Amino acid sequence: MNAMKVILIATMLVASNFCSSQQWITRNGSVEFFSATFVENIEATNEMASGLIANDGRFAFRVPILGFRFEKALMEEHFNENYLESTRFPNGTFEGAIANWSDALQDGQSHTVKAQGILTIHGVAAEREIESTLQWDGKAWIVQSAFTVLTAAHEIPIPKMVREKIAEEISVDVQMTLSPR
Amino acid sequence: MNTFSTYSFFCCSLLCIGLLASSVNEVHGQSLLDDLGPSELAVHPVYATFKDTRIINVQSNETPGQNVMHFVIAHRFGQINEGAYALWGLDNASMRMAFDYGLTDRLCLGIARSTFQKTFETSLKWKALQQNSDDSVPLGITFYAVGMARGDSTFAETAANRTFTNRLSYTYQAIITRKWSEKFSTAVVPSFTHRNLVEFIDNAHDQWTFGAGGRYKLAQRISLNCEYHFLLKGLKESAQNSLSLGVDIETGGHVFQLHITNSRGMFERAFLTETTGRWRDGALFFGFNLSRVFDF
C-alpha cells in the first residue's frame, strides 16, 4: 500500500511538472517589415518565424534573418550582406514575459497585452515593451503585433548615400498562430 | 516484499527525475529560446561571394537574380605609358556595353558589344553548384560560354578571309569559387578558347588558359580584387599573361569597378589570348566599369 501511495504521489508530481511546462509553439509565423521614404518603399516578408509561449506568460520569438524575401534580389543581398550581417547574426529574437498574463486571457476574446523583454537584432539587445493582441480560438493562440524598430538602436549603419531610400524607423508586423506543443 | 521495495525504489527514482527535470526546466527557463530547437536556415547557400558578375575581366560565380537585368558600361582607356600628351591614356577610351538577363536565379543570358574590334557577344552562364554554409558543398561551380563575333572591316589580311565564320571565336569556362570568410573569396577559372581564324600562322586555334582570382573586402562596401590568367602553350611569345588589379565600390544599386590591367579588350578572347601589354613596361590600361540592375 505504501508503495502505491508513492506511485500516486510520484505520478502526480511528474504530471503536474509536465502540466506546468505547457507550451504553445509555431514554426511558420509571419513577420513583415516596411521601410517608407519619399524616394523608395522597401518591403520584406518572412514566413519562417518561430514562437513559443509558456503557460506562465513567458515567451520567446526567433526570426531567421536570411528568411526575409524582398521584391528585388539585390536588395535581399544587400540587406543580408551590408545591413544585418546575417552570417554573423543569423537570428533576430525577442524574449521575455507578458506583463499582465493570467489564465483569464484564454476566454476567446481578443486582449491587448504588453510583451516585455529583450529584442535582439543585429546582435544588439534592447529592452522593449511591445503591445500585442492575443486571442485564444479554442485550440491555439493568435498573436498579432505591430511595432517599430529604430535602425540606430541596433547599430545598423545606413550610409549617407542611401539615407533617402532607407527609413530610420522600420515598421514591423507580426502574425502567428501558436498551437499546443 | 522484495517486489514492493523494487516498486518504491522505482517510484522514488521517478520522483527524483521529475523534480530534477523541473529544476532543470527552471534553470533552462532562463532562455525559452533554447526550447525553440535548432534555428531555421542555419544551413543556407553562400551568397555574395563576389560583389559583381565579374571579378575584373573574368566572370565571377554571380548571376543576376530571376527577371533581373544587369547592365554594365565598361570603359578601358589607353596605355598609361603614353604619357601626358594622351593624359596617360585617358584620351583613348574603348567601351563595352553588356546586358545580362537572369532567366532563373541560376541561369543568365547575355549580349554585349565592344567598340574594341567592333565585337558582338552572346553568352550563357549557369550556376551549376552553390557552396553551402555548413561546407556540405564546399565549392561553387559556374559554367560560362560565350560566342564572340568581330565586326571590324579591317579584320584579316585579305578580303577573302573576311567571312562571317572567320570572325567568330568561342570561350568556355568553369568558374570554381569558394568564399572562405565574410571578406575573402577566391576563384579558379580554367578556360578554353577557340578562334576560327588566328593572326599568325603558327598560333593554335585552340588555347587553354588557367586563371585565378580573388577578392578581399577592405570595408563593408569596398573590396580589392585581382585576377591572373596563365597561358598554356600554343601562342607566340609576344602574348602575355593577363594580370589585373582592381577595386569594387558598391553604392546601393550600383557597383563601380576601377582597375589596372595589361589587357586592352574586355571580352574573353581578347584578354585571355590577345594580351600584349607588359606590367614592367608600364603598358597598362586603366579601366572603369559601372553596373546597374533593373528589376522586371
Contacts of B293 in chain A (CB under 8 A): 72, 74
What is the rounded distance in angstroms from the CA atom of residue A72 to the CA atom of residue A64? 19
Q: Is B249 on the interface with A (CB under 8 A)?
A: no
Grid coordinates standing for B45? 547557400
Contacts of B17 in chain A (CB under 8 A): 14
| DSSP at A89 | S
- State the DSSP H helix or E strand holding residue B2, giving kind and residue range, or none if neither: helix B2-28
Cβ distance B48 to A17 less than 8 Å, yes or no, reads no
Q: pLDDT tens across A102-148, in order?
A: 888 888 899 999 999 999 999 999 999 999 999 999 899 999 999 99
Decide if B41 is inside a domain. Answer: no
Decide if A132 is inside a domain. Answer: yes
Q: Is the pLDDT of residue A170 over 60?
A: yes
Number of compact structural domains in chain B: 2
Decide if B34 is inside a domain. Answer: no
Decide if B58 is inside a domain. Answer: no
Decide if A110 is inside a domain. Answer: yes
Decide if A42 is inside a domain. Answer: yes
Q: pLDDT tens across B97-152, in order?
A: 999 999 999 999 999 999 999 999 999 999 999 999 999 999 999 999 999 999 88
Q: Is the pLDDT of residue B2 over 60?
A: no
Q: pLDDT tens across B11-53, in order?
A: 555 555 555 544 444 444 468 888 888 888 888 999 999 999 9
Percent pLDDT > 70 in chain A is: 88
Question: Of A83-92, B35-44, B92-101, B183-192, where does mean pLDDT reach its minimum?
Answer: B35-44
Does B110 share its domain with B254? yes
Contacts of A20 in chain B (CB under 8 A): 22
Residue-number span of the structural domain to which B183 is assigned: 68-295
Decide if B36 is inside a domain. Answer: no
Q: pLDDT tens across B261-289, in order?
A: 999 999 999 999 989 889 998 899 999 99
**Among residues B254, B282, B253, B270, which one has the least CA distance to residue B199?**
B270
Contacts of B10 (CB under 8 A, 6+ apart): none
Contacts of A80 in chain B (CB under 8 A): 47-48
Decide if A3 is inside a domain. Answer: no
Does B20 share its domain with B130? no
Predicted confidence band of residue B96 (pLDDT cuts 50, 70, 90) = very high
**Among residues A132, A127, A116, which one has the least CA distance to residue A174?**
A132
Grid coordinates standing for B260? 589596372
Cβ distance B39 to A73 less than 8 Å, yes or no, reads no
Decide if A18 is inside a domain. Answer: no
Number of compact structural domains in chain A: 1
CATH of the domain at B82: 2.40.160.40
Grid coordinates standing for B105? 536565379
Grid coordinates standing for B232? 598554356
pTM: predicted TM-score of the whole model, two decimal places: 0.82
Does B290 share its domain with B187? yes
Decide if A116 is inside a domain. Answer: yes
Determine the pLDDT at residue A10.
60
Cβ distance B35 to A48 less than 8 Å, yes or no, reads no
Q: Is the dihedral of CA A101, A102, A104, A107 positive or negative?
A: positive
Three-class HEC string of B209-267: EEEEEEEEEEECCEEEEEEEEEECCCCCCCCCCEEEEEEEEEECCEEEEEEEECCCCCC
Does B170 share its domain with B254? yes
Beta bridge partners of A174: A31, A145
**Mean of the per-residue pLDDT values of chain B:** 87
Q: Is the pLDDT of residue B190 over 90?
A: yes
Does B17 share its domain with B150? no
CATH of the domain at A39: 2.40.128.110
Decide if A1 is inside a domain. Answer: no
Q: Is the pLDDT of residue A20 over 60?
A: no
Determine the pLDDT at residue A173.
97
Cβ distance B39 to A78 less than 8 Å, yes or no, reads no
Say if CB B136 and CB B43 are below 8 A apart: yes
Residue-number span of the structural domain to which A162 is assigned: 23-180
Decide if A12 is inside a domain. Answer: no
Grid coordinates standing for B194? 577557340
Which ipTM value was assigned to this complex?
0.75
